[in-house]
Chains A and B, each alone.
Chain A
Amino acid sequence: MRTRTADEVRRQAIEAFAHELVASHLVVGMQPAGGRESEAALVSLVAALHTAVASGTAMPLRLDLSPECISHQGEAIASASLQARRLLQCAQIQGIEAICFGEGLTPVEAGRLMALLLDKDHDQRWQPDALANAMRHRGIRSVQFVLQTGAGAKKPNLTTDVREAMRQYQDLADALHENNTLARRDLDLDMASASTVIERAIQQLEVEPSGLLAVATKDSVDRFTTGHSVRVALLALRVARAAGATRNQLLQVGTAALLHDIGKSKVPHEVLFKQGSLNNEEWAYLAEHPRLGAQILLEQPVVDPTAVGAAFSHHVCGNGTRGYPRSPFPIPPGSTSRLVRVCDVFEALTSVRPYKRALTPCEAYTVMFRAEGDFDPRWLHFFVRTLGAFPQGSHVRLDDGSEALVMEQGTRADRPIVRLLSGAGGTALLPGQPDRVPIGELHEGQVRQVAAVLTPDRTIDTGAGPSEWLTQTAHSPCLRRTHSGSA
């Protein structure tokens, strides 16, 4: 197994710090000041800074805040930027170009920094003197702001399509975060904003689906499970579209999928952040989040039955007799809820969590089919056939060593059309080199195959030849691992 270089270690530590910065800003903005979760987030932020110091990162650590992303030395930090809309907006309003963090930063000081950034009374650009006074007054010594000048900051290295996909994803995450905050405070949800961002996502998925789906896999800030819900919504839209949904139906399905976990915002912190294992009673409370979610949606001035159903039934199995919440009588889930359930479990299985690794799509399908009765078989089959062995947005390595992004399904489930990210052997793409390649077909004098699937933490060999899926020929492993111990 390859050892990471010192540069890679440093880059990862800086990304982790940016992640904690975004998470702290979100948490402190949502929680009451001094709340337990806010304190924990600020401590994690300081811990991440110490990790960056330990990795050899030069101090002070400067993070640039452009309107679309966080960057370090001109390199965009996409993973942390996907839920950074609020932080970036704060920075733009206050005229902040960059924040430099010194290694003496403490959680208390970090809390004061967040309070300064979140100060609703200061909704204008800082003047240098006023900023210096405010910093001194609040006792912030280990942090320096770099204010915007007329010259304009250096733009981070993002292509136009990635920038657009990031913007779309940030819109979705921000709308959901806003609604989670409103739900937690017992206020009416902003259903219009949820519909608007879903409407835009539908348009984007029609024009260029792979960019948004690929960006979605990079979201590393999943406090409040926002990223999970956004990805479930994108999956549901993708599958519903393939099922022939009209635009109006897509809007209903997408909104329902985006809000399916809204009930989690009402689970008390003493249960969520309890020291030690949950007892049966606490676990039962946690399992109430679908019912709580449905009730939040029922309290809205305009009630959306599809969203209510998906919030209530996304953990219900079969005809309403298994899963949770337990109802006094079986409630058969509607079609949208059954689709959301499939997307929900698939997303959980294929994403990395701090406590588990990601499965590949084929591995996740196999696991889900072990418990086929827990899902609507029609949706499960259709889901698998729609996404294929290499879903849109998947990162793959081809048999000539080039890396590529899956753009769309090809003629067979194992033959997608990909966009090259690098040339043969991982070299840079040559100018004018065609970057769209149909897998398994003669293209520019070459027939290329997918050699490996790259998950965030694994490289899985697909075997020598194409998979047998949908070809109905002999048994042949679709995916063969290169790493020992994972099978």
Chain B
Amino acid sequence: MLRDRDEKAEAELKAAAEARKEKLRAETAMSSVPQEIFDSTDPMLEARLTELTEDALRLLRGRGHMPSQEAISSLPLEPVASEEIAGFLHSLASRPDAGRPPLLEGIENEFFGVLIDTYLTARAAMQRRALNLLKDGLDLSPEAGLDRLTSDLVTTLASLGKKGSDERLENLCKQIATAVVVASPALGDEP
């Protein structure tokens, strides 16, 4: 009876250790820590996970002790020498203050870029959604094809020549780029 209980407990604990290992593996894979610092594909990671889970297993079997401060201290820590910190702070202090960075700058261009990326890489339904958002964003009629778009661009360019506006020119270029990418059969299937 006691043996059965021990075996059952051992099986549960092994399962617990394995579950913990999986959890750690998932967390490492999803981390935002730069890969140069902590590489989740590093083969040593497996050794680290095994070590951690074995510690847990020993503890759970009642033969180990709670993780000591030493054990916690043995977890990986990116080495940063105090001299390097001092050097960094010194160099930071010697740089001119660049002031406040602009907020919400480049959002529109980034958004159009993401829409075109989505059009080129996503599944069909998502492609249609991206195309519709592109058309909405560029104020084009839903049925506008490349000919119609080109005609609109020519008209706009002609008016540009009279007024001369950098912002309008940039917007126009964006429309041309979008139209070329969206209409190019080589880059994506027609949705």
Contact = CB atoms under 8 A, between A and B. Distances in A.
A327 B118 CA distance: 9
B5 to A, nearest CB: 10
Contact of B80 (A242, A348, A366): A366
Nearest to B52: A354
A59 B150 CA distance: 77
Contact size range, B = 35 or more
B73 A485 contact: yes
A471 B30 CA distance: 39
Contacts of A277: 41, 43, 45-46
B19 A43 contact: yes
B59 interface: yes
A141 interface: no
Interface string A454-487: 0001100000000111111001111111010111
B19 A40 contact: yes
A83 interface: no
A46 interface: yes
Contacts of A305: 107-108, 110-111
Nearest to A333: B110
A357 B62 CA distance: 26
Contacts of A345: 32-34
B149 interface: no
Interface in A39-78: 39-41, 43-44, 46-47, 50-51, 54-55
Interface stretch (A90-98, A368-376, A436-444): A368-376
Interface stretch (A161-169, A194-202, A379-387, A425-433): A379-387
Given A273-B26, A379-B101, A469 B89 contact: yes
A252 B13 contact: no
B131 to A, nearest CB: 11
A332 interface: yes
Interface in B101-120: 101-111, 113-118, 120
Given A313-B110, A334-B106, A349-B33, A328 B117 contact: yes
Given A273-B26, A308-B111, A339-B101, A362 B46 contact: no
A2 B56 CA distance: 21
A225 B30 contact: yes
Interface string B168-191: 000000000000010000010000
A299 interface: yes
Nearest to B28: A355
A44 B181 CA distance: 50
B45 A335 contact: no
Given A264-B30, A299-B129, A9 B110 contact: no
B76 interface: yes
A328 B45 CA distance: 32
A249 interface: yes
Contact of A295 (B69, B109, B120, B126): B126
Given A1-B73, A467-B89, A486-B77, A40 B107 contact: no
B12 A354 contact: no
Contact of B15 (A43, A252, A299): A43
Interface string A351-368: 001111101001101110
Given A43-B16, A46-B12, A333-B110, A55 B66 contact: yes
B100 to A, nearest CB: 5
Contact of A378 (B59, B89, B98, B116): B98
A332 B12 contact: no
Interface of B: 9, 12-13, 15-17, 19-20, 22-34, 36-38, 40-41, 43, 45-46, 48-49, 52, 56, 59-60, 62, 66, 68-70, 72-73, 75-90, 92-95, 97-98, 100-111, 113-118, 120-122, 126, 129-130, 133, 181, 187
Given A334-B105, A476-B86, 16 more contacts: A46-B16, A50-B13, A225-B30, A252-B104, A286-B30, A295-B126, A298-B133, A335-B102, A335-B105, A355-B45, A355-B52, A362-B89, A363-B78, A365-B88, A379-B101, A457-B75
19 contacts: A39-B19, A47-B19, A50-B9, A242-B100, A264-B30, A283-B41, A298-B126, A298-B129, A312-B110, A332-B110, A335-B105, A355-B48, A362-B88, A363-B85, A379-B101, A382-B100, A475-B86, A475-B87, A477-B85
Interface of A: 1-4, 9, 12-13, 39-41, 43-44, 46-47, 50-51, 54-55, 106-107, 222, 225, 228, 240, 242-245, 249, 252-253, 264, 267, 272-278, 283, 286, 289, 291, 294-295, 298-299, 303, 305-306, 308-309, 312-313, 315, 320, 325, 327-329, 331-339, 344-345, 347-349, 353-357, 359, 362-363, 365-367, 369, 371, 374, 376-379, 381-382, 384-385, 457-458, 467-472, 475-481, 483, 485-487
